[in-house]
Amino acid sequence: MASASNTTILSSQKEKPPKPKYNMFQNSWFMVSLAWKTEEKKVVILSLLTAVLAVAHNLVNLYVSPTILSVLERKASMPELIWTIVLFTAALIFVSAAAAYINSNILFGKITVRSRILSLLNRKSATTSYPNLNEDKFKKLVAASSNAVSGNSEATEAIWQTLSSLLTNVLGFVIYISLLTSVQPVLILVITATAVTGYFLGNYLNGYEYRHCDEKSEYIRHIDYISGQSKDWGAAKDIRIFGLRPWLEELYTKALDSLMAFRGKAESVYLWAKLADVVLALLRNGIAYAYLISMVLTDRISVSEFLLFFTAVSGFATWVTGILTEFNTLYKQSLDITTVRECLEYHEPFKFEDGEPLKAEKKEYEIRLEDISFRYPGAEKDVLTNINLTLRPGEKLAVVGLNGAGKTTLVKLICGFLNPTRGRVLLDGRDIRDFNRRDYYDMFSAVFQQFSLLAATVASNVAQSETEIDLERVKECVDKADLRKKIESLPQSYETYLNREVYEDSVMLSGGETQRLMLARALYKDAPFIILDEPTAALDPIAESNMYQKYNEMTSGKSSIYISHRLASTRFCDRIIMIDNGGICEEGTHDQLLKLGGKYADLYEVQSKYYREGEDVHEE
Ligand code: ADP
């Protein structure tokens, strides 16, 4: 049976290979200007110097034997011979030492430039328009780009070495060409012709992985996912209880085998590229050597000249092969850098810095949803249809409905995580699409169902900062979230580290405690709107009841949205809307909705019966 992922892979294989957005010259320039802007100019300068020194080293080596031989041929004096040897040796020592010095100095600069790209990629992932995170193309670009910045040998760092070697080869090529033209210009034509053929052939064959990049990142994503699951703290309990390890290992092996088969296919294509290169090099050198030998046999050049040209011919072939190899390497690295740039430049459907700035200047705002419909990309029908809703300044609104009704989607539209497919979201009458979306996010405080607790201290997690922490306010918010006693009983109180994955002496909070900490964080932010998505899901009944009692105090002076599938928990809100079948089916206060005797009342009856029975069972 073909799995869904195999289907994706097969269909992506049929697609026409994408043309890289940038060529290797554009990407080299991108890296040079990035190094320049990152204040790592020395990477560029030292790379140039490395090339010059490498050519100098080669030239000293090229001339050392023929020069000594010609001194001997002239039967020159012993001091002249010794001087010649000393000069060449000194030149070699100087050039090698300078190259070694530069090499050790350039290393940190190269790493800094790569780290800069890594931080740009991290920033892109953390700040990109929310819908991008749901797009397969973006996810694949992120995975492939992370690979391109993951180590010293990856494109974003290794390119400096390639550029430097390429320059070395080009400089050497130019110098040797003038040397060999004096022997036989046709030789140069033969070598150049074979070289150009090898270059284009190599380029085509070496582009295999890029042409199949979708397939490759699909395999890598599978592997990353499975190894991520094996280490995932959340899945750890299931893995043990259900004995999932052998299954995970089977899945991992299967995914790894697919990647290996792909790599095998790619390597066999690369092998053909190498083979073609070798055959062409043999042809080049064979013709050149035959010609030089014939010149010696017909006394047209001296022995020392023969030695010079003989070395120069093999050196020239090396430069040519070097240029081809470095171009091929640069081509492959350029493809990786293109991926990185495509990721960094990935289309943003939201306005950020190009949007109108927005600053929370007052406490209360109005949000209006005007004829909103929303459909997830690729879905067959709308999740929400023609919603009209006004969240009045200071209002406490509750959104209720069954699982999957669209409550979270509605909140995502209000918070600006999604743009409606039709209709508008208005903040005080202005379409939110006009604003800088980051400024718009500042209008909200929220507790979502998925927590994002970082491995940092309690205080930092509440204040969302390492440095700017108002400890008094942290305490106040932790108190409102009913967590003060717990936090102050910890060994280092507000300075206690959370999350065992990073800090050994840290503390693990329970699900309910974490949820309350997230509530404290939302209160600390003190934004005009506060959104609570099932905020009592992980709380015990006492904590839940405390939360209801404090709800008014927590949300005073703000507009709030309280989402719950448990109707009893929304009684204290000013207005309740019930979502069903993609629309608002009922609306009013708790008492009004009960009196209405519709869906809300039915559901309330079912739920309260369930909870009553639940309590009876506990009491027995
Ligand atoms: P609720 O919060 O009421 O439980 P949601 O708003 O999370 O409901 O989901 C509403 C519907 O939208 C569900 O049918 C769900 O499967 C679908 N849905 C939610 N998120 C996505 C997504 N990212 N892509 C596609 N469909 C989604």
* 587 φ/ψ angles, rounded to the nearest 5 degrees: -155, 135
Angstrom distance (rounded) from CA 581 to CA 567: 18
Calculate the alpha carbon distances from 533 to 222, 364, 397, 439, 451 in Å. 31, 21, 12, 22, 11
For ligand 1, whether the C-beta of 104 sits within 6 Å is: no
Whether 412 lines ligand 1, by a CB cut-off of 6 Å, is no
* Ligand 1 neighbour 406 (Cβ under 6 A): yes
Q: Is 401 in the pocket of ligand 1 (CB under 6 A)?
A: yes
Which atom of ligand 1 sits closest to the CA of residue 563? 2
Which helix or strand (DSSP H or E) is residue 586 part of?
A: strand 583-588
**578 Cα–ligand 1 center, Å:** 16
185 lines ligand 1 (CB under 6 A): no
Helices marked H in 74-207: 78-127, 136-148, 155-181, 185-206
CA 47, 53, 59, 62 torsion-angle sign: negative
Q: Residue 153 carries which side chain, given as an amino acid letter?
A: S
CA-nearest of 144, 149, 60 to 98 is 60
pLDDT higher for 405 or 321? 405
Q: Torsion angle of alpha carbons 266, 267, 268, 273, nearest 10°? A: 100
Using a 6 Å cutoff on CB, does residue 407 contact ligand 1?
A: yes
Atom 25 of ligand 1: nearest residue by CA position = 376
pLDDT at 166 (0 to 100): 96
- CB of 568 closer than 8 Å to CB of 540: no
> Cα of 404 to ligand 1 centre, how many Å?
6
DSSP characters over 123-136: HHHHHS-GGGGG-H
383: Cβ below 6 Å to ligand 1? yes
Higher pLDDT, 330 or 199: 330
Task: Write the DSSP assignment of 266-288 as a string of letters.
Answer: HHHHHHHHHHHHHHHHHHHHHHH
Ligand 1 close to Cβ of residue 94 (< 6 A): no
Cα 415 to ligand 1 centre (Å): 16
Q: Is the CB of 168 under 6 A from ligand 1?
A: no
> At 42, is the secondary structure helix, strand, or coil?
helix
Atom index in ligand 1 nearest the CA of residue 378 equals 25
pLDDT per position as a tens digit, 380-396 = 999 999 999 999 988 99
Residue of 139, 376, 603 best suited for mutating to test ligand 1, as the one with most atoms within 8 Å of CB: 376
Interval between CA 603 and ligand 1 midpoint (Å): 21
Average pLDDT (523-527) is 88
Ligand 1: centre distance to CA 378 (Å):
13
Q: What per-residue confidence (pLDDT) applies to 457?
A: 87
φ and ψ of 448, to 5 deg: -95, 175
The pLDDT assigned to 121 comes to 96
Residue 383 Cα, ligand 1 centroid: separation in angstroms? 7
Residue 27 is which amino acid?
N
Average pLDDT over every residue of 313-325: 82
Cα 4 to middle of ligand 1, angstroms: 20
Atom 16, ligand 1: which residue's CA is nearest? 404
Pair 175, 335: CB distance under 8 Å: no
Question: Rounded distance, CA 379 to CA 356, Å?
Answer: 32
Residues 552 and 47: their CA atoms lie apart, in Å, by: 64
pLDDT at 511 over 70: yes
CA 439 to ligand 1 center in whole angstroms: 26
What's the CA-to-centroid distance between 421 and ligand 1, angstroms? 15
Asked if pLDDT for residue 397 goes beyond 90, the answer is yes
**Of 530, 529, 550, which is closest to residue 539 (Cα–Cα)?**
550
pLDDT tens for 350-372 read: 999 999 998 877 778 899 999 99
- Distance from the alpha carbon of residue 563 to the mean position of ligand 1, in angstroms: 14
How long, in residues, is the chain?
A: 620
Higher pLDDT, 571 or 460: 460
pTM, two decimal places = 0.74
Q: Where is 561: in which H helix or E strand?
A: strand 559-564
Name 575's Cβ contacts closer than 8 Å, sequence gap at least 6: 395, 396, 397, 398, 587, 588, 589
Task: Extract the tokens encoding 440.
Answer: 């718009």
* Cβ within 8 Å of residue 111, ≥6 positions away: 152, 157
The tens digit of pLDDT for each residue in 130-141 reads 999 989 999 999
Cα 450 to ligand 1 centre (Å): 14
Judge whether residue 181 has pLDDT over 70: yes
Q: Is the CB of 379 under 6 A from ligand 1?
A: yes
Atom 15 (ligand 1) nearest CA: 404
Measure the CA dihedral 350/356/357/363, to 10°.
-90
Q: What are phi and psi of 24, to 5 degrees?
A: -70, -25
Residues of the chain above pLDDT 90, percent? 44
Please state, as a whole number, how many other Cβ atoms lie within 10 Å of the Cβ of residue 129: 20
Pocket lining: 582 vs ligand 1, CB cutoff 6 Å: no
pLDDT at 611: 60
Closest CA to 330 of 31, 6, 13, 575: 31
What are the residues whose beta carbons fall under 8 Å from the beta carbon of 101, sequence distance 6 or more? Answer: none
pLDDT of residue 156: 95
Q: What is the dihedral of CA 232, 233, 236, 238, to 10 degrees?
A: -90
Say what the pLDDT of residue 14 is: 47
Condensed to tens digits (0 to 9), the pLDDT of residues 19-63 reads 889 999 999 999 999 999 888 899 999 999 999 999 999 999 999
Average pLDDT over residues 517-546: 82
Q: Give 566 or 374, the one with higher predicted confidence.
A: 374
Rounded to an integer, the average pLDDT of 414-423 is 94
Residue with tokens 């910045």: 149
Rounded to the nearest whole angstrom, what is the distance from the C-alpha of residue 405 to the centroid of ligand 1? 8
Apex 299 CA angle, 296 and 305, nearest 5:
60
Q: Is the CB of 403 under 6 A from ligand 1?
A: yes
409 CA to centre of ligand 1 in angstroms: 6
Give CA–CA dist 36/34, Å, rounded: 5
Which class for 84: exposed (0-12), middle (13-18), buried (19 or more C-beta within 10 A)? middle
Q: What is the pLDDT of residue 618?
A: 42
Cα–Cα distance measured from residue 270 to residue 274, given in angstroms and rounded to the nearest whole number: 6
Pairwise pLDDT comparison (22 vs 570), residue with the higher score: 22
Is the predicted pLDDT of residue 147 greater than 80, yes or no?
yes
The protein residue with its alpha carbon nearest to ligand 1, atom 14, reads 404
